[in-house]
Structure 1
């Protein structure tokens, strides 16, 4: 009898241990990488916490997966390395879906249609792409704007494209007159220029960019994350986040309200 009781107790302890192991595994946080100075998409505050539109999105995805998001700040170029190596589960940083990136990365459905802005000094007189002819321009290294300028160099006719590791250094050089213009996400530029004197968006470039969350190629979390984004669009959660950070409600039929499948191409 005593032996049976001991056996029963032992089995119960083993079962509890197994249950605890499963629970601990289920509660593992999502490892998220982000460029830490990219408001209103993501930004690291003085307290060390992250905030922003995409921060709200990944936190909600994690919540609906039954866990939390552990966000780590990285240089922009390092984001792609971390994802390709599988060191993180997700990457956020107003990232554009491109066919080139899809060769080594996966993306969720888009939730924002981006456009590029030409950032200039207020007295520059630059009001269009044509105004960049013969000018020295700055972009962030490995970003979509850098690729866009390289592909349109002959058409635009700029003199040089200087590549920067950080947005802050790029905008400081613009403010100090070391470069004539910058090309970057127009939303981020307008947000930054609201806090930097003497700078403005001189022109906007419509590109049809699709912003989405980047994930390791073939991630087993991809479909679940994409399904949750669809739910967030349908139940109004994502449109509310959009309005909170962009200041306006998303347009009917836009990426912020339209559920879509996992993309297999940039088109």
Structure 2
């Protein structure tokens, strides 16, 4: 058995330590790998994700066929709806229609709950003080709806009769001027169809409302046995416009540009013919009346 002396042990240990030191001195540092490179440059050049296009909320009183109403599925449909969809497509806008009661509809625009309104809204000087309107897109006039055997032939005949109107509309204003605003013979309803149903039930002698609505109701409710009476001398011509919040010129310009384009390419006429037959003549300047 061989014995390792203290001296021999120290000599051996010294050799081993010296070898380790020489090995450490001769070792080269490995170059940094690509994964250790700073990531800041890549982050700085990456474009942020595009924000989704904002959906514009369109307020409409969906109880005014054929301009706006709800079908059996609850979907809002009508002439106004198709016109705004066509305008939105041309302008590259996204829209969502929300059923909004006529009473209070303008407040929703002023408060920012709606971005625009389309609801057979007549352009008036009074309304222009609190909102902005697009170029006119529809000509309208008031008509008198009566039962087929009625002797009523002109607006003046309604002076002492019970007349149904939708609250806050041109019909309401016209009959209020004829009979007096506080007349107990004026029956005001939340919608024109409700007023026409009251006429069918015998609760009123006549209903005054926009021509498009009256004609649509007469044509689609033959059992009611109604007829319409026109009196151009008594009712001024009206024009409908799309309403936006006062001062929203950017949106208004887009709407007007797209409205001109759908007139030019025939889209407007095709939509009009779907609901009213023969395309409407060019819309003149707006008058001072109201739905």
Classify the TM-score, shorter chain. 0.7 to 0.9
What is the correspondence of 1:109-148 to structure 2 with a 5 Å cutoff?
Answer: 109-148=135-174
Of the three residues 243, 259, 268, the one matched with 1:214 is 243
Runs of 4+ residues deviating >4 angstroms: 1-5
Report deviation, 1:215: 1.5
Which sits farther off after the overlay, 197-206 or 71-80? 197-206
Matching of residue 51 in structure 1 with residue 81 in structure 2: no
Contact 2:117/2:244 (<8 A) preserved: yes
Distance 1:8 1:188, change over 3 A: same
User: Which of residues 277, 281, 287 in structure 2 aligns to 1:247?
Assistant: 277
Residues 146 and 11 (structure 1), Cα distance of their counterparts in 2 relative to 1, 3 Å cut: same
Aligned equivalent of 1:233: 263
Structure 1 residue 50, shift from structure 2 partner? 2.0
Match of 1:7 in 2: 40
Corresponding position of 2:48: 16
Quickly say closer, same or farther: Cα 1:89–1:4, change in 2 above 3 A: farther
Compared CA separation, residues 143 and 16, structure 1 to 2 (3 A): same
- Counterpart of 1:66 in structure 2 is 92
State the match for 2:188 in structure 1. Answer: 163
> Structure 1 residue 28 and structure 2 residue 60: aligned?
no
RMSD: 2.3
Unpaired segments ≥5 residues, structure 1: none
Query: Is 1:81 paired with 2:107?
Result: yes
User: What is the CA-CA distance between 1:12 and the residue it aligns to?
Assistant: 4.7
Alpha carbons of structure 1 residues 223 and 11: separation in structure 2 relative to 1, 3 Å: same
Q: What TM-score does the superposition give when structure 1 sets the normalisation length?
A: 0.85
Report the CA distance between 1:117 and its aligned residue: 0.6
**Conserved 8 A contact 1:43-1:51:** yes
Q: TM-score, normalised by structure 2?
A: 0.78
What are the superposed Cα offsets for residues 14-35 of structure 1, whole Å, 9 maximum, x if unpaired? x233xx22xx1xx222210111
CA distance in 2, matches of 1:204, 1:33: 31
| 3-state SS, counterpart of residue 194 of structure 1 | helix
